[in-house]
Structure 1
């Protein structure tokens, strides 16, 4: 059984097959999207990198983070109609002509794999935009060879329960961020007090 917030395409209603090919395609070429970061992602990353004091957090933010301007859309939870809010969030900076993640090494390995953001952990199993739309899934598969294999039911099998668990966590992380932003009049500097005022966009 799904929830009102979580919808699963018929193609994936029994589960999803997926095995990462370690090609690094999802870690570069970010003109098509962003890697969003939430509080638990930042805490996990900075702890892994041993950057826990305020000065270190500011340095981390300047080096690795950016403001993603007005790309986040949300309604109040449990409201299918009404005002739709649009506001800033945090994302990773990308570097080089191929726009790759700073934590991607020359062998396409993630240098912070143990502490990577939830968005990376959950791809594609917990991405609501993919599991509820076969057209979105097929579109993403043009870049990702592992997704093409998923469509052929090849790879590690993730049950419906696995899918719902990750998709629900994604939804709840976004919901928590929205509620904090709303409480602080959508001022991201009040939500993330360690952010330097001159952080790049």
Structure 2
């Protein structure tokens, strides 16, 4: 069984600045709202776009709305952010992991983990966002 390594690098915000949506769970919404001293309803009105199946942050000009010289919500960041780069679409294909290495300086650093363990971590994404991973 193969291994991979990852350790988030101090000061790196590459994954926070890429184009794309940042999806959140209902639990993320409540946790982040409380952390920011807001009601869930006020937080949702200001920061969240709700579709039929998903919640996501409203799109800022670039990257995450909570990125300001680092993550303003780091202790309560969404599942999607907390699990990166252990997303199913990245860890389940060797070519995807290699491609991600080009933008993530933490890939290839840190302790080695079994690929099977990384795939298990990625299952949390599937549980958190079932409509995305059918």
**TM norm. shorter chain > 0.5:** yes
Of 75, 79, 82, which aligns to 1:118? 79
Normalised to the residue count of structure 1, the TM-score between the two structures is: 0.56
Matches within 5 A, 1:2-151: 13-21=1-9, 22-30=11-19, 33-51=20-38, 56-67=39-50, 88-96=53-61, 99-105=62-68, 107=69, 109-125=70-86, 127-147=87-107, 150=108
| Matches of 1:157 and 1:40, distance apart in 2 | 30
- Please give the root-mean-square deviation of Cα atoms over the aligned residues, in Å: 2.3
Higher alpha-carbon Rg = 1
Q: Unaligned stretches of 5+ in structure 2?
A: none
Q: Distance in 1 between matches of 2:13 and 2:49?
A: 21
Deviations 1:36-74 (A, max 9, x none): 1112211221222233xxxx3232113211246xxxxxx
Distance in 2, Cα, partners of 1:159 & 1:135: 17
Q: Distance in 2 between matches of 1:46 and 1:165?
A: 29
Residues of 2 paired with 1:28 and 1:114: CA distance?
18
TM-score (norm 2): 0.80
**Size of the alignment, in residue pairs?**
130
